[in-house]
Structure 1
Amino acid sequence: MKKNPVIPFAIIAVIGVLLVIVISAVGIGQRNDIADEGNDEATEEESQDGETSDDPEEIFESNCASCHGADLSGGAGPDLTKVGSDHSEEEIHDIAVNGTGSMPPGMATDEEAEVLAKWLSEKK
């Protein structure tokens, strides 16, 4: 009796498709859990403090470093290593709150922008 060579391949294909579906469902659940966890942490931080950080480097790291680089050297956003020689503290505050060019508004609260502006205006 001759075996049909297609049947083992069909079984493997069906098992593979089912495995992909199961792994995708697990991944979607994990993605949602991770997103929810991030929201919970932000809420916990806000409720514990109730106020903004007064550490300009911490504010910069959480709000600005992704575009301007952790060392202020730039990236998607411009280099800020000597921003104080180009802009006054008030101008920096205005840019942090209202945005400019490709930088969107609202990247920092008024209080955070005040702390950042003072710190960045000293970079000359």
Structure 2
Amino acid sequence: MKKWLFTMLFGSALVLGACGGGGDDGGNEEPADNGGTDTEESTGDEGGGSVDTAAAEELYQNNCASCHGGDLSGGAGPKLSAIGSKYSVDEIADILKNGKNNGMPAFEGQLSEGDITTLSSWLAEKK
């Protein structure tokens, strides 16, 4: 059973990784804090802070979708479609960095601080 689950998760990760888009210049998130004048920021934001939605979605697909579902609907991990109504940006970032005792792994050596910030900000918008 464990081999089957591992095979499915690994296969899903390969398929989702291959579906990743192109034309991204590496997802450097430093310009996102410049007051909203950058043209590569998301156009679907509500104002205030800005999140590079395309980069966040790519990070999610590459690192989270195999457990939480490609559409945030859940799977091996809980659904995340309304995670922002339960946790703040800082709480989500903490969970991403340190993991959680219910099987959520820590991503602090695998994702950069900028990637964690992008992903946690994007997930916090899911309400």
Q: TM-score, normalised by structure 1?
A: 0.56
Superposed, which structure 2 residues align to 1:104-123 within 5 Å? 104-106=105-107, 108-123=111-126
2 CA distance for matches of 1:61 and 1:81? 14
Kept in 2: contact 1:52–1:111 (CA 8 A): yes
| Identical aligned residues as a percent | 49
Instruction: Report the counterpart of residue 97 of structure 2 in structure 1.
Output: 97
Instruction: Report the counterpart of residue 86 of structure 1 in structure 2.
Output: 86
Superposed, which structure 2 residues align to 1:4-43 within 5 Å? none
Higher CA-based Rg: 1
Q: TM-score, normalised by structure 2?
A: 0.55
Report runs of 4+ in structure 1 exceeding 3 Å deviation.
49-54
Unpaired stretches in structure 2, ≥5 consecutive residues = 1-13, 15-24, 30-51
Aligned residues: 78
Instruction: Give the aligned residue type for 2:58.
Output: E
Q: 1:109, CA displacement in angstroms?
A: 2.7
CA 1:82–1:52 in structure 2 vs 1: closer, same or farther (change >3 Å)?
Answer: same
Q: RMSD of aligned C-alpha atoms? A: 2.3
Q: Deviations over 1:39-94 (max 9, x none)?
A: xxxxxxxxxx6765751000000000000000000001111000000000000011
CA 1:76–1:90 in structure 2 vs 1: closer, same or farther (change >3 Å)?
Answer: same
